[in-house]
Amino acid sequence: MISYVRNVGKTVLAAVVSLVFIVGAAGCGNTQKDDGPDYADDEAMSIIAKGYQKRSDVIAQYEQKKDTDSVKHVKDAVQAEIDNDKPLKERQFKDSKLQEKVIAYLNLLEDSQKVNEDYSYLSSNYRTEWTKVYDKRSALLKDFVDNYKLTVDGKYQDSLNDIVANGSSVKKKTETEDALNNLIASATFEKTDDGYGYYTYSAVIENTSGIDVGTVNLILALYDADGVKAAEVYASTNAWPAGEKVKFETGSDVDAAQVKASVDHYEVDD
């Protein structure tokens, strides 16, 4: 009888110890450290590079078959890049600026496809709209190469170099346009009554952009007292070197209450 009680006691004790071990193990499992979100920062450039390469491969396949007369080869190439890159749209990023640029790039791919769908292939409108998207994409790819270490495999390097070079031109053009627009936006055009119902509008503006500019043509929108645009006139200069002050002047029979100036055309000296 005593032996029986001892055996039962040992069995109960073993069961209790096992239960404590199981509960303890479960508790440890529940308190394991949470790794947090699966951020895409470290993967984004490799994914974009892979998408770029897939797009290039599709183009190469069509070129090998000499089948590039229709928009289909462009659509298929762009779609290959979209399909590869689109998971990034749902990913989280630690660097919000990088995320913003990646999303902008993905949106440009969608914009490219929209151009393919909305315009007749290689028409004047197609070329214009395609160039707009291409330039923006080039600028972003240059940014990725310069600031986020985007790289591609060797056989794709030449084409990426061409796009990055275009991105450099786009960046320079954008910087020049922004600088000129800021100069003109900050200028005040004075009105002089010349008599006989004619008025002269003029402003002296200093080129503080640091850029040597050649020809600059401005449009001056003249608004009456009711805020209605009554006329547009033009003012220009043939040369506007950095640091030089130029007097932009034009005339009209409109007695404007407000003048809004904008850049119509410009050329940069080499």
Q: What is the pLDDT along the chain (270 residues), one digit of tens a residue?
A: 444 434 444 444 444 445 444 444 444 455 455 667 899 999 999 999 999 999 999 999 999 999 899 999 999 999 999 999 999 999 999 999 999 999 999 999 999 999 999 999 999 999 999 999 999 999 999 999 999 999 999 999 999 999 999 999 999 999 999 999 999 999 999 999 999 999 999 999 999 999 999 999 999 999 999 999 999 999 999 999 999 999 999 999 999 999 999 999 999 976
pLDDT of residue 36: 75
Domain chopping of the chain, boundaries: 44-181, 187-268
Residue 214: name the closest of 164, 187, 249, 176 by CA: 176
Nearest one of 258, 262, 267 to 237, comparing CA atoms: 267
CB burial readout 166-203, b (16+ within 10 A) else e: bbeebbeeeebeebbeebbeeeebebeeeeeeebebeb
Torsion of CA 267, 166, 132, 92, to 10 degrees: -130
Whole-prediction pTM = 0.74
pLDDT computed for residue 97 by the predictor: 98
d(CA 8, CA 2): 10
187-268 adopts what CATH topology? Immunoglobulin-like (2.60.40)
Tally of residues, the chain: 270
In 94-212, DSSP assigns E strands to 190-195, 198-206
Query: In angstroms, rounded to a whole number, what is the distance separating the alpha carbons of residues 136 and 163?
Result: 10
Q: Which of 47, 135, 40 is nearest to 85 (CA)?
A: 47
Q: Which secondary structure element, helix H or strand E, spans residue 108, and what is its range? A: helix 96-118
**Half-sphere exposure of residue 267, counting CA atoms within 13 Å on the CB side?**
8
pLDDT attached to residue 22 = 46
pLDDT of residue 8: 41
